[in-house]
Amino acid sequence: MFYGIDLNTRLMLGTAQYPSPEVLRAAISASDAEVITVSLRREGPGGSGFRDILQDSGCRILPNTAGCHTVREAVTTAHMARELFGTPWIKLEVIGHADTLQPDPFALVEAARILCADGFDVFPYTTEDLIVGEKLIEAGCRVLMPWGAPIGSGQGLRNIGGLRAMRAHFPQVPLVIDAGIGAPSQAMQAMEMGFDAVLLNTAVAKALDPVAMARAFSDAITAGRLAREAGLMPARDMAHASTPVFGMAELLA
């Protein structure tokens, strides 16, 4: 549940970089996503056709502040997005490093505090840092979106230990893996670890067949969640025979 909204699917899909509007439309449908993200800058001038695709999808729109590097820029962009898309939801990005696109934790917390106070439902793009997560919760965020790896890198879950610690530290907070996912197996791993959803864009948009890839991610996330709920077997240091020794026939010389 995200800000009081129950979703039936756990894949959130970005809408940038697709080869054509038709492919974007088909990929959204194949993914079964109920939430799609859109950058206000991407929507831009002359974007009425793009807005039609978003509206026709039937998905809930999660605008983002992609490309913002300061608190003021992010807050201004969020207000413009709320006016344009008519939703209090905002994926908050405040980038602090040009190469890694790592969020600036200090500016992120400040911007989150301002936007939460102004009635936004903030989805902050953050790292797996527990202290930053606590500060974002204190600022009013009810969801955290830790990165798996740098945006668009396809490296998957680069800090497994850190992400496991975050899941354990915030057991009641919805956590969405955002950024760095490059393969369906990586998204499945996130779900097996107990994360609530996965947000991705490049891995689908830049695939040879984005529609087929969107379907693959949808199936992987469903499988990962089912596995988590079914109860994964624990890893062992030693072998453990699946066939019991007791009851086996004894061969006498």
User: Given 10, 91, 113, 215, which residue is catalytic?
Assistant: 91
Mean pLDDT score, 49-75: 89
Q: Do 64 and 14 contact (CB within 8 A), yes or no? A: no
- From 126, 137, 199, 136, select the one nearest 163 (Cα to Cα): 126
CA–CA separation, 236 vs 112, rounded Å?
42
> What is residue 113's three-state secondary structure?
helix
Question: What pLDDT, on the 0 to 100 scale, is given for residue 251?
Answer: 66
Q: Which of 135-139, 198-202, 225-229, 236-240 has the lowest mean pLDDT?
A: 236-240
A 10 A CB-CB count for 182 gives 18
* 91 flagged as catalytic: yes
Can you give the residue ranges of every domain in the chain?
A: 11-229
Amino acid 46: pLDDT: 43
Contacts with 114 (C-beta within 8 Å, 6 or more apart), sequence order: 71, 75
How confident is the model over 106-113, as a mean pLDDT? Answer: 97
231 assigned ligand-binding residue: no
> Where does the pLDDT of residue 252 fall: very low under 50, low under 70, confident under 90, or very high at 90 and above?
low
User: Is 152 known to sit in a ligand binding site?
Assistant: yes
As a whole number of angstroms, the distance between CA 190 and CA 131 comes to 21
Residue 161 and residue 27: Cα distance in Å, rounded? 32
- Count the neighbouring beta carbons within 10 Å of the beta carbon of residue 122: 27
CB neighbourhood size of 185 (10 A) = 13
241 assigned to a ligand binding site: no
Q: How do residues 12-23 score in pLDDT, each as one tens digit? A: 999 999 999 999
Question: 4 is written with which tokens?
Answer: 């009081």
Task: State the pLDDT at residue 45.
Answer: 42
Provide, rounded to the nearest whole percent, the portion of the chain with pLDDT above 90: 76
Assess contact for 101 and 95: CB atoms under 8 A. yes
Q: Are strands 197-200 and 176-178 parallel, antiparallel or unpaired?
A: parallel
**Per CATH, which fold does 11-229 belong to?**
TIM Barrel (3.20.20)
